[in-house]
């Protein structure tokens, strides 16, 4: 069953798993979602915004202080139009900032302003993922109502096999659809 153009804000952070965001966009669009990509500044070192713009068919947002195109506050306007904010891949850095209430870039400001559910899909080295601080941050965010698709065991960028591999797009989309079907998925702030 196709969705009626629900708006997904896809936050993309600087992880080698960023390549999976391309497939995620394609599959979300095939499911009938509109996808707007918001990239962290560092994510642009891995993939150019033009790739995401071409795949999504929408403007890609990168900076909190980009030149004004319209007379609306960008992070609030994007937060308001979202049916769901999806962060995939999510680094330890973005998880830590959100858990600590640090909203110093466009993506974190959108998340702080949205009333839509937020789904976080971590991707990082196993040692980082299992780090007690990272695990405490994930627990804190779950207490606040943030949702997670946990990483998997697999080959990591460092060449080792372990926890931290970004979940496959099929699994992420399954959770997106589950959350959006259940309207009580809003994040408590």
- Full 3-state SS string of the chain: CCCCCCEEEEEECCCHHHHHHHHHHHHHHHCCCEEEEEECCHHHHCCCHHHHHHHHCCCCECCCCCCCCCCCCHHHHHHHHCCEEEEEEECHHHHHHHHHCCCCCHHHHHHHHCCCCEEEEECCCHHHHHCHHHHHHHHHHHHCCCEECCCEEEECCCCCEEEEECCCHHHHHHHHHHHHHCCCCCCCC
* Active-site hit among 22, 109, 121, 158: 158
158 among known catalytic residues: yes
- Enumerate the active-site residues: 158
């Amino acid at each position: 069953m196709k969705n009626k153009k629900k708006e997904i804000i896809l936050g993309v952070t600087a992880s080698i798993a960023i390549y999976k965001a391309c497939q995620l966009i394609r599959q979300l669009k095939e499911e009938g979602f509109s996808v707007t990509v918001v990239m962290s500044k560092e994510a642009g070192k891995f993939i150019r915004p033009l790739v995401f713009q071409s795949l999504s068919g929408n403007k890609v947002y990168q900076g909190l202080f980009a030149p004004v195109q319209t007379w609306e506050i960008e992070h609030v306007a994007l937060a308001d139009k979202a049916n769901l904010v999806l962060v995939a891949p999510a680094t330890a850095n973005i998880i830590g900032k959100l858990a600590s209430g640090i909203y110093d870039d466009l993506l974190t400001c959108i998340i702080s302003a949205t009333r839509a559910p937020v789904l976080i899909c971590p991707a990082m080295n196993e040692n980082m993922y299992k780090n007690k601080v990272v695990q405490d941050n994930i627990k804190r965010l779950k207490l606040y109502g943030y949702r997670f698709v946990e990483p998997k065991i697999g080959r990591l960028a460092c060449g080792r096999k372990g926890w931290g591999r970004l979940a496959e797009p099929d699994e992420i989309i399954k959770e997106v659809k589950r959350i959006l079907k259940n309207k009580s998925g809003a994040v408590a702030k």
